Amino acid sequence: MNEKDRLALEAALIKRAMEIGADPAFDSKGNLIILRDPPHRVWNSIKGAGLGTVCGVAAIAATGGLIACGGVGAIAALSYFTAAPGAAVLGGGTNAAVAAITALVQTPAFLCSTGALGASVGLVSGAVAGYNAESDVEAIYDAMNTATSSAGAAGILIGCLWVVVFSDKSKAIGQKTAYKFSDSKADLSQESIKDLENIRGAQKVDCGGEKNLYIALISGQPKEVVYVPRQITSPEGLAYVGRMMRQLGGAANVVQMLAFVKHTASPQMGLFMEKFHITVDDLMNKKNPSQETKLLHALAGHAAGLGSMHEKGIAHLDIKPENLFVDQFGNGKVGNLGGALYVDECGLVTPTVFTPAFAPPEHQDGEKTNGFQFDCYSFGKVLEKCSPYLGKRCKEECASLAQKLLNKTAELRPTMAQALAALTASMQITPKL
């Protein structure tokens, strides 16, 4: 399946998911997964268990068994007047069969243990009693009541157990996966689904001025993740975010996107990305010579990351020091993709999330602009801001490159590939690609 067909299919699935109240999501590999809300899951389970035991309660409470509700009463009367052994089987199992069917209609099949077990108890009891009773009307009648009572009691017991044991652990149980889509089975492991569910229910961390910081279990280990809201609501737009995650998942100089999902405490979908605590701002310290080398290496990595995005047709649109991170090994990572968008066939895009101080002069609010040239100008502003902290060795080269990237004529600005080549040549370093 080509990418165009996949996008169309995913958009259709996302639209249908929204119509039925389910939540679309993408895992770290960009695979579409449709999730159900856990409170709804528990409520549907309890409701199914309750509906599945109504007939059993009625059979237990009924006097003489002949005024039991609905179909059970009709079968009871039939078995009484016809004295047919087969009617005992029907009478014993109808109560639980109705329970099972009702529960199946209301909830997913795997949540219908109440109805299923009730049906088994009723049918087996009715069949055994009917076989032993042969044509004894009174024995058939008693066997029928015993079977329906057993089914009802079993249903009530399981319903109570479900409420007591599981209702307060809905988050631990996770969400029902209603649909999974990937190109290969290997891409969509149970571990990735579990990680996605853990991220969806991640706990927010109150860390000073840090906003949208959460702790989630990733591969069984607690990890800090950052929640970046996306102002996208259309199925087509959401499908494109999944495509972006697939295309940038292996980029060494782009912050990893762990999930695109609606958090259980938020009505808005957003990207959950790995957290880095060091940014370009932190490295701009001219009093520490070792920071100069780290800054140079990181900037080259950022140029490589932006170049990778541009090769995939994606513009970042909010490049600034706060969004350029550095990992523990000193590699630059382009982060905060909350406003990243695909450009059209002409390279144009309408930015929705950007910082005016780093926006090019040709940009007008609400108007289309060249997304790649937008990023190049923003990166030039970053280099201009960093140049005073680079020292004599590379200060002039970086300042010169910054001026080229800040050219008021957008068409004359170097591409990110050319900027990366200039940086690596002048600094004699090769970033990790």
Closest CA to 246 of 8, 28, 6: 28
pLDDT of residue 301: 95
State the amino acid at position 110 in one-letter form: F
Burial of 128 (0-12, 13-18, 19+ CB in 10 A): middle
Rounded to an integer, the average pLDDT of 87-106 is 48
pLDDT value at 367 more than 80: yes
pLDDT of residue 390: 80
Which band of pLDDT confidence, cut at 50, 70 and 90, is reported for residue 414?
A: very high
pLDDT value at 359 more than 60: yes
CA distance 335 to 338: 9
Lowest mean pLDDT among 285-294, 308-317, 403-412, 416-425: 285-294
State the amino acid at position 127 in one-letter form: A
Which band of pLDDT confidence, cut at 50, 70 and 90, is reported for residue 266?
A: confident
Q: Which two tokens stand for residue 6?
A: 């996949």
pLDDT of residue 333: 96
Express as a percent the part of the chain with pLDDT over 70. Answer: 60
Q: Which of 246 and 55 is assigned the larger pLDDT? A: 246
CA distance 102 to 69: 15
Q: Which of 352 and 394 is assigned the larger pLDDT? A: 352
pLDDT of residue 89: 44
SS3 198: helix
pLDDT value at 163 more than 60: no
Closest CA to 280 of 354, 239, 350, 334: 334
pLDDT of residue 85: 42
CB 66 within 8 A of CB 77: yes
Q: Which two tokens stand for residue 157?
A: 């017991």
Rounded to an integer, the average pLDDT of 157-168 is 52
**Does an H or E element contain 213, and which?**
strand 213-218
pLDDT value at 179 more than 50: no
CA distance 90 to 320: 73
Q: Which two tokens stand for residue 288?
A: 């520490």
CB 193 within 8 A of CB 177: yes
* Cα dihedral across residues 29, 34, 37, 38: positive or negative: negative
pLDDT value at 274 more than 80: yes
SS3 117: helix
CATH code that applies to domain 278-427: 1.10.510.10
pLDDT of residue 82: 43
pLDDT value at 168 more than 50: no
pLDDT of residue 293: 77
Closest CA to 128 of 172, 88, 96, 168: 88
CB atoms within 10 A of CB 254: 27
Distances (CA, A) of 43 to 23, 56, 102, 135: 17, 21, 15, 44
pTM > 0.85: no
Our CA dihedral for 397, 322, 275, 259, rounded to 10 degrees, sits at -100
Rounded to an integer, the average pLDDT of 79-107 is 46
Q: Which two tokens stand for residue 161?
A: 């157990």
pLDDT one-digit tens code per residue, 326-350: 998 999 999 999 899 999 999 999 9
Which residues, including other chains, have CB under 8 Å from residue 301's CB and lie 6 or more apart? 252, 253, 331, 332, 333, 431, 432
Which residues, including other chains, have CB under 8 Å from residue 427's CB and lie 6 or more apart? 296, 297, 300, 394, 397
pLDDT of residue 175: 39
pLDDT value at 87 more than 70: no
Lowest mean pLDDT among 164-178, 250-264, 406-420: 164-178
Q: Which two tokens stand for residue 318?
A: 């909010």
pLDDT of residue 405: 97
CA distance 398 to 380: 9
pLDDT value at 172 more than 60: no
pLDDT value at 227 more than 60: yes
Strand partners, 260: 26, 271
CA distance 426 to 433: 18
Express as a percent the part of the chain with pLDDT over 90. Answer: 31
pLDDT, the chain, mean: 73
pLDDT of residue 86: 46
Distances (CA, A) of 297 to 385, 394, 414: 16, 12, 20
* Cα dihedral across residues 303, 309, 310, 311: positive or negative: positive
Rounded to an integer, the average pLDDT of 275-303 is 82
CB 13 within 8 A of CB 181: yes
CATH number among 1.10.540, 3.30.200, 1.10.1060, 1.20.120, domain 3-36+187-274: 3.30.200
Q: Which of 303 and 22 is assigned the larger pLDDT? A: 303
pLDDT value at 362 more than 80: yes
CA distance 121 to 107: 21
pLDDT of residue 344: 93
pLDDT one-digit tens code per residue, 10-41: 898 889 888 877 788 898 888 888 876 544 44
